[in-house]
Structure formats: structure tokens, C-alpha cells
Amino acid sequence: MDLFLYWLGISIGMHAFPDAAYSLYLIKRGFINDPRKALNILGRGLCALFGIANFLRMFWFDLIYAVLVSFTVSNLVVGLSVR
């Protein structure tokens, strides 16, 4: 049963990893050429981050991300419940 829950958590985490659709959404919504400087910088930064993340998928970075998030969150939850 534990193995199934580990698999479920990691597969959900891998699918939560940002993909190219997020970058297209930011471009379509106009955050890239927004006249407000803060949104323009945020939109460009997020597009760059999502582009790097998609490149790293070739190296299974989405799996590494999911495992790290799963174990970090589970350790935080267990650590908070012990106190």
C-alpha cells in the first residue's frame, strides 16, 4: 500500500511540473509586453523558467522535482505533527 501511495504522489508531482502551455498562456495574456514593468519582468522571468524546466525534462528533472517535493513535504508534515 505504501508503494502505491509513493507512486501516486510522485506521478502527481511529475504532472504538476510546468510545461510549455504555461509559457504560451503568459504570452497570450500579454504579460510579456505589459506596460506595467513589474508584470513584464515577472512574465519574462516565468517564461524563461518554464523554458529551462522543459529543457531539463530530457534529463528526467520532473522526476527529481517530484521526489524532492514529495519527501520534503512529507517530512515537514511529519515534523509538524510530532511537535
> What Cα–Cα distance (Å) separates residue 44 from each residue in 34, 37, 39, 65, 73?
10, 11, 8, 22, 29
Per the structure block, which three cell numbers stand in for 51? 523554458
Place of cell 523558467: 49
Q: Model confidence over 18-64: pLDDT tens digits? A: 777 777 777 777 666 767 777 777 777 888 888 888 888 888 888 88
Whole-model pTM: value is 0.60
Look at 14 and 19; give whichever has higher pLDDT: 14
